[in-house]
């Protein structure tokens, strides 16, 4: 009995000096139901193989002391290692490495840039193949049983005796009745009519030339319909060339072909959306560049990235995120011209290839169609979403003459589109390379910023529009970069959201603001609350409530002294959102919706969410004097707040005229540069006795206008 059959959890041995690959591959294999052993060099790998009798070996080509080829040969020399599948992992896809791998006894090979889903599928297939081979060897005396496992039959024609013999498996594959005698005519009759003449010509040529032949064809089985079969025929003659015997085998390869087709599809197509994957796209792009170079034509690459996808994924769940990605893939395909190609690069990234462009306007028109089509509302698990996407465009030959440079240029342009406000497209320009380098430098520096205490908090007052007193403050984080000086949040928050540091920063801001609030209280500074803006990633991370409970206990801040601000994009009518908001209110913490009116349509959510405050986005406040529509929107928000007994704060207040308008519509609180720029805690403490509506009062240098 083979080890694989006895042990429902097969053992995989990974021999690789790359710790990252061992860990990553090991985790995927464990998830797939494998026991995993690891070795960082060949000698220790051989030792583990001798004692463990692993079911499969993943072997790196490049190892210290002895390379993978040598280790593979030694594995094959061990008695139980003769038939164990050995999958060689190589960073070199050159023909020589592949040839050496098979010479050394490898079962298969793959590159280091591995698709783990495909790798697991390949390993299972190798193990099934190994099991079949073992069964064949162990039961070689029972040929009929072995042929049944392999779905392989054999037949022979003794020409001079006019005698045909065939195995039982031949009858099963052809679906012959028990009393039906086998011969060449019966075989040809079973072949699909569309392929019968071609197969007969191949067979006749084989008999006439007394040679060997091999062909594939469909057999029409009386019960199972069409099955795919492989035929191999060998002719035996005497010394004078007279025909003596004809030996043939036929095998049902339908299942094998399905598996091969599936592997092929997995290698070239994204399993979620059905679109071509990154490798497929690169192959097509390489051919398109060669064609464009020969024909002196233009082509364009569009790099697309969903805006705010992580928030949707975290708040609604990964299944909803997958459903959204499928819909986006369908919408992209619907806007393309014949011959264009859309591919999923992974995550929330897509790429489009546009060939034979007349000029840039062709690419711009398609990009705009993508924005318009994707921006239409989508219902995902009973939640209405309005997807947004940023697009970068690079044109051959102006922005690059290779796959990598074109895609890199389009990627840079996509980041420029995000920086410009998202849900728009940008063409690549040389200046964008400088921006990308700056972005990468900031991303690297941020890794040390928290540990080196490079962040600091400023505070902006939230002011009564009746008497100019400070009711509360909003904590605003600044990065004191050692070389670049003070950086505003919009220069680093998006980077931290992308690289996963935003939750750590959010905790630091909450802790620091809470400590400051306690200091003000002890110093009898009359500030009622401090507001902290929480990233959507942090809000949906699952540990916000626990962090706040710890902060309240450690700092002594009163829950009523804290206000959590979250944007509309984070607030969805989902159980998780409602649960988080409800828990915050149970703790006694206030909740405000920031930038209200600019994100996802949230009116229907308001009736379901336990919130305390709406903040009117500055775009409505700053234009309300000259724009009746903006004034009407601001008045509607105030009216909604009053009806629902919510407080309301107007953001971005900069002029006396805006203050008067806000008073006229019943808004009680304002925040903006008219009153005070963001200031230090010490400066805020000196402002609390100031009427910030009265600009004749003594000004605090560098703070009050």
Output the six-digit token pair for 539: 């809000």
Laid out side by side, the sheet with 341-346 consists of 341-346, 349-357, 298-306, 389-396, 425-427
Element of type H or E holding 558: none
**Residue 399 confidence (pLDDT) above 50:** yes
Q: Average of pLDDT values for 664-683?
A: 92
Q: What's the pLDDT tens digit per position in 29-49?
A: 999 999 999 999 999 999 999
Q: What is the pLDDT of residue 575?
A: 63
* Rounded CA separation 258/39 (Å): 35
**Among residues 394, 395, 374, which one has the least CA distance to residue 386?**
374
8 Å CB contact between 462 and 669: yes
Q: Average of pLDDT values for 406-425?
A: 88
Q: What's the pLDDT tens digit per position in 245-281?
A: 888 888 888 887 887 777 766 678 888 898 999 888 9
Output the six-digit token pair for 188: 């040809």
**High-pLDDT (> 90) share of the chain, %:** 35
* Rounded CA separation 639/597 (Å): 13
**Residue 74 confidence (pLDDT) above 60:** yes
Q: Average of pLDDT values for 562-571?
A: 81
**Residue 697 confidence (pLDDT) above 50:** no
> Which region among 14-18, 136-140, 415-419, 489-493 has the lowest average model confidence (pLDDT)?
136-140
Residues recorded for the chain: 705
Q: What's the pLDDT tens digit per position in 140-187?
A: 545 555 556 667 788 888 887 888 888 878 888 888 876 788 888 888
**Residue 704 confidence (pLDDT) above 60:** no
**Among residues 290, 299, 304, which one has the least CA distance to residue 399?**
299
**Residue 695 confidence (pLDDT) above 70:** no
**High-pLDDT (> 70) share of the chain, %:** 89
Q: Average of pLDDT values for 550-565?
A: 94
8 Å CB contact between 406 and 288: no
Q: What's the pLDDT tens digit per position in 596-639?
A: 766 544 455 666 678 889 998 888 898 888 888 888 888 988 98
Q: What is the pLDDT of residue 315?
A: 67
**Residue 504 confidence (pLDDT) above 60:** yes
To which residue do tokens 């010479």 refer?
103
Q: What is the pLDDT of residue 371?
A: 93
Residue 592's alpha-carbon distances to 57, 120, 132, 649, 702, in angstroms, are: 56, 47, 64, 9, 29
Q: What's the pLDDT tens digit per position in 307-331?
A: 888 777 766 778 888 889 999 999 9
Cβ contacts of 250 within 8 Å, gap of 6 or more = 152, 153, 154, 155, 170, 173, 229, 230, 231, 232
How would you classify the pairing of strands 349-357 and 341-346?
A: antiparallel
Query: Model pTM?
Result: 0.48
8 Å CB contact between 348 and 296: no
Going by pLDDT thresholds of 50, 70 and 90, the confidence category of residue 649 is: very high
- Give phi and psi for 7, each to the nearest 5: -110, 110
Going by pLDDT thresholds of 50, 70 and 90, the confidence category of residue 432 is: low
Q: Average of pLDDT values for 205-227?
A: 84
Q: What is the pLDDT of residue 144?
A: 56
Q: Average of pLDDT values for 114-134?
A: 83
> Which region among 88-102, 314-328, 541-555, 691-705 has the lowest average model confidence (pLDDT)?
691-705
**Residue 3 confidence (pLDDT) above 50:** no
């Amino acid at each position: 009995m083979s080890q694989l059959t006895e042990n429902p959890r097969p053992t995989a041995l990974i021999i690789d000096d790359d710790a990252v690959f061992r860990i990553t591959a090991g985790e995927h294999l464990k998830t797939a139901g494998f026991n995993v052993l690891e070795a960082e060099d060949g000698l220790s790998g051989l030792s583990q193989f001798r004692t463990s009798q692993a079911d499969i070996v993943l072997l790196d080509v490049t190892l210290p002391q002895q390379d993978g080829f040598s280790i593979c040969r030694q594995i094959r020399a061990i008695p139980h290692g003769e038939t164990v599948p050995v999958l060689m992992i190589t960073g070199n896809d050159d023909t020589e490495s592949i040839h050496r791998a098979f010479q050394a006894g490898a079962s298969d090979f793959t590159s280091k840039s591995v698709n783990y889903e495909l790798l697991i599928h390949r390993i299972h297939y190798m193990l099934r193949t190994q099991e079949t081979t073992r069964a064949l060897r162990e039961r070689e005396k029972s040929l009929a049983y072995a042929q049944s496992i392999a779905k392989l039959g054999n037949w022979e024609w003794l020409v001079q005796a006019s005698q045909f013999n065939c195995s039982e498996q031949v009858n099963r594959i052809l679906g012959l009745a028990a009393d039906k005698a086998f011969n060449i005519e019966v075989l040809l009759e079973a072949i699909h009519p569309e392929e019968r003449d071609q197969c007969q010509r191949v067979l006749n040529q084989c008999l006439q030339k007394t040679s060997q032949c091999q062909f594939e064809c469909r057999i029409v089985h009386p019960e199972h319909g069409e099955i795919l079969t492989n035929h191999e025929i060998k002719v035996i003659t005497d010394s004078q060339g007279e025909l003596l015997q004809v030996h043939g085998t036929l095998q049902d390869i339908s299942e094998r072909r399905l598996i091969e087709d599936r592997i092929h599809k997995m290698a070239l197509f994204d399993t979620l959306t059905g679109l071509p994957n990154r490798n497929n796209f690169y192959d097509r792009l390489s051919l398109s560049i060669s064609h464009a170079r020969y024909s002196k034509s233009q082509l364009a690459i569009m790099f697309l990235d969903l805006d705010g996808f992580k928030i949707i994924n975290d708040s609604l769940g990964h299944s909803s995120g997958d459903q959204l990605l499928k819909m986006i893939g369908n919408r992209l395909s619907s806007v393309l011209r014949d011959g264009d190609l859309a591919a999923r690069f992974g995550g929330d990234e897509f790429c489009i290839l546009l060939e034979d462009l007349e000029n840039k306007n062709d690419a711009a028109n398609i990009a705009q169609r993508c924005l318009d089509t994707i921006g239409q509302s989508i219902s995902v698990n009973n939640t209405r979403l309005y997807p947004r996407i940023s697009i970068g465009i690079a044109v051959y030959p102006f922005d690059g003459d290779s796959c990598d440079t074109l895609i890199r240029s389009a990627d840079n342009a996509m980041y420029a589109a995000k920086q410009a406000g998202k849900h728009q497209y940008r063409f690549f320009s040389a200046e964008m390379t400088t921006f990308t380098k700056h972005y990468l430098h900031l991303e690297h520096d941020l890794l040390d910023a928290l540990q080196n205490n490079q962040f600091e908090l400023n505070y902006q007052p939230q002011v009564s529009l009746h008497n100019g007193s400070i009711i509360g403050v909003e904590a605003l984080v600044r990065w004191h970069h050692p070389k670049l000086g003070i950086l505003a949040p919009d220069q680093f928050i998006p980077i931290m959201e992308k690289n996963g540091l935003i939750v750590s920063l959010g905790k630091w801001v909450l802790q620091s603001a809470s400590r400051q609030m306690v200091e003000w209280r002890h110093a009898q500074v009359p500030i009622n609350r401090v507001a902290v803006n929480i990233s959507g990633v942090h809000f949906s991370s699952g540990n916000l409530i626990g962090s706040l409970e710890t902060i309240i206990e450690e700092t002594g801040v009163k829950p009523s002294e804290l206000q959590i601000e979250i944007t509309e994009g984070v607030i969805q009518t989902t159980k998780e959102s409602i649960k988080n908001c409800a828990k915050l209110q149970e703790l006694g913490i206030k909740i405000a919706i920031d930038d209200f009116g600019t994100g996802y349509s949230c009116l229907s959510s308001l009736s379901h969410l336990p919130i305390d405050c709406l903040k009117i986005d500055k775009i409505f406040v700053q234009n309300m004097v000259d724009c009746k529509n903006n004034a009407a929107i601001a008045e509607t928000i105030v009216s909604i707040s009053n009806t629902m007994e919510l407080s309301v704060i107007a953001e971005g207040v900069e002029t006396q005229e805006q203050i008067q308008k806000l008073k006229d519509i019943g808004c009680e609180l304002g925040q903006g540069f008219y009153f005070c720029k963001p200031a230090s805690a010490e400066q805020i403490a000196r402002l609390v006795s100031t009427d910030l509506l009265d600009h004749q009062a003594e000004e605090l240098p560098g703070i009050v206008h």
